[in-house]
Structure formats: C-alpha cells, structure tokens
Amino acid sequence: MHFQFTIIIPVYNEEDNLLRLEKELLLYLEIANKKSKVLFVNDGSSDKSQEIIEAICSRNPAFTFISFKVNKGLSAALKAGFDFTNTELVGYIDSDLQTSPKDFNLLLSHINTFDLVTGMRTNRKDSLLKKLSSKTANSFRKLFTKDGMDDTNCPLKVLRTDYAKNIPMFNGLHRFLPAMVLLQGGKIKQIPVKHFPRLAGDSKFGFWNRSIGPFIDCFVFLWMKKKYINYTVSKQNI
C-alpha cells in the first residue's frame, strides 16, 4: 500500500487517552486528503501506554510504533519520528486530542504551495496560566526568529519530509520548526484550527518549560542560525 502522509504521535504516559485517540485517527483516515498512516513514538512511558499502543497496532495495519528505552522528551520523539518516516509528507499531533486529526485536511490543502503548514489554536481551552506562559514564550520566539508565526507550540503541523529530515536537532526543537524550514529556504503558513480541553491525563509542560526554557532556547537558535550551513548544488557530474 502506497502511503503519502505519516502522522507522528509522541506519547508519554497517555494510557487514558490512547483508545479515544485510536477512534479519532481511524475516523480521520477514512476522510484524509492524502493516503495516511500513523507512527506512535512512545517516549519511555512508565504506565501502560506501550501495551495499549501494541494492541492498537496489531488490529490496525496502517498503525506502527517505535518505543524509547527511557524518556527523552518531545523533541527527541519528533526527531525519531522524522528519522523513521518514509512518506513524502509528515505531520504530528499530540496524543491528548486537544487538537483534532480532522484538521489535518485544512493543513494538507495548503501543502502544495508551502513546505510547512502549522495550526494556530483559536479559542484555547487551557488555564489562564498556561495561556499566559505560552503567549510569553511565543512573543520571545517570534522576536528572535522573525518567523511571523503566532503559535508555534500548536501540536498540529504538516511539512515536507525532506525538510523535516534536514532540520538540525536539539532539545526544544518543536518550538522552532517553522524557523528551521525558513532557514532551508522553505515557505511556511499558519492556519486557524479548533482547540479542545484535555479530558484525561496530565500536561507534561509546566511554567519552566513553557516560558523560561523557550527563552533560553532562543539563544541556542540564534547560535545555530549563525553556524547553519545551507547550499544548493547547481550542477554535478557524479
């Protein structure tokens, strides 16, 4: 079966969300604009997530997984997902279902013109502290990267796999995907998407890794941007 689009699902201790996620993903695969498959990346979960993921994959041929020995964080999970993707397009969504897989079609409708299309959460269903810390982080990042994106933390993105595989990886990467596509000379776009409250499980991000951590990562990005190598071969005889 020829797939065109891989949906990466980073998972860390989400046992209470996975069966609902399976149902929503199956509904999406029926209406997807591109022939799609799912790749779970279990980021060293200590609950029953791996057991549930294996059961899901055993009954759904379009679902696959990889599993880390220990927890490495969201950026590492995304890197692994990119490394194991073999389709032309790749995207990701969080396993908490605060965004909907159905909105992938909104993003995919623009991917012929752009190299990365990201969601922008509207009417967010988060706590005031979470929204304020996220807004602060986005302001810092936008100032440093000049990527023009209002919500790079939105866990709903689609990008061309060749761009994804060429992104220099570091912890905190997930906040800089649009800026890193721009470094490669790519084109990016943001699209408003729906947002929902978390119904089960706990958020893996607190004040530190929503605000202070991203501020520090901005300096890492500036250093990397200065050192970044990007070239285009105009002619060859190999």
List the chain pLDDT tens, one digit each, 238 residues: 799 999 999 999 999 999 999 999 999 999 999 999 999 999 999 999 999 999 999 999 999 999 999 999 999 999 999 999 999 999 999 998 999 999 999 999 999 999 999 999 887 665 555 656 666 666 656 666 667 777 777 889 999 999 999 988 778 777 889 988 998 999 999 999 998 876 775 665 555 555 566 667 777 777 777 777 677 778 788 8
Instruction: Say if residues 154 and 196 touch (Cβ distance below 8 Å).
Output: no
> What is the spatial distance between Cα 121 and Cα 144, in angstroms, rounded to a whole number?
21
Domain span at residue 102?
5-227
Q: Is residue 235 part of a domain?
A: no
Q: Is residue 14 part of a domain?
A: yes
Task: Identify the three-state secondary structure at position 217.
Answer: helix
The pLDDT assigned to 224 comes to: 73
- The structural domain count of the chain equals 1
Amino acid at 108: L
Q: Is residue 236 part of a domain?
A: no
CATH code (residue 82): 3.90.550.10
Global confidence as pTM = 0.82
Q: Is residue 86 part of a domain?
A: yes
In this structure, the strands spanning 116-121 and 156-160 are antiparallel
Task: Identify the three-state secondary structure at position 79.
Answer: helix
36-42: strand order across its sheet:
63-67, 36-42, 5-11, 89-93, 156-160, 116-121, 188-193
Q: Is residue 113 part of a domain?
A: yes
Buried/exposed code over 187-226 (b: 16+ C-beta within 10 A; e: otherwise) = ebbbbebbbeeeeebeebeeeebbbebbeebbeebeeebe
Instruction: Say if residues 230 and 185 touch (Cβ distance below 8 Å).
Output: yes
Cβ-based neighbours of 54, under 8 Å, separated by 6 or more: 65
Q: Is residue 151 part of a domain?
A: yes
> What is the spatial distance between Cα 96 and Cα 16, in angstroms, rounded to a whole number?
9
Radius of gyration of the chain (CA): 17
Q: Is residue 196 part of a domain?
A: yes
Q: Is residue 28 part of a domain?
A: yes
Instruction: Say if residues 188 and 181 touch (Cβ distance below 8 Å).
Output: yes
From the list 53, 44, 30, the residue with the least C-alpha distance to 73 is 44
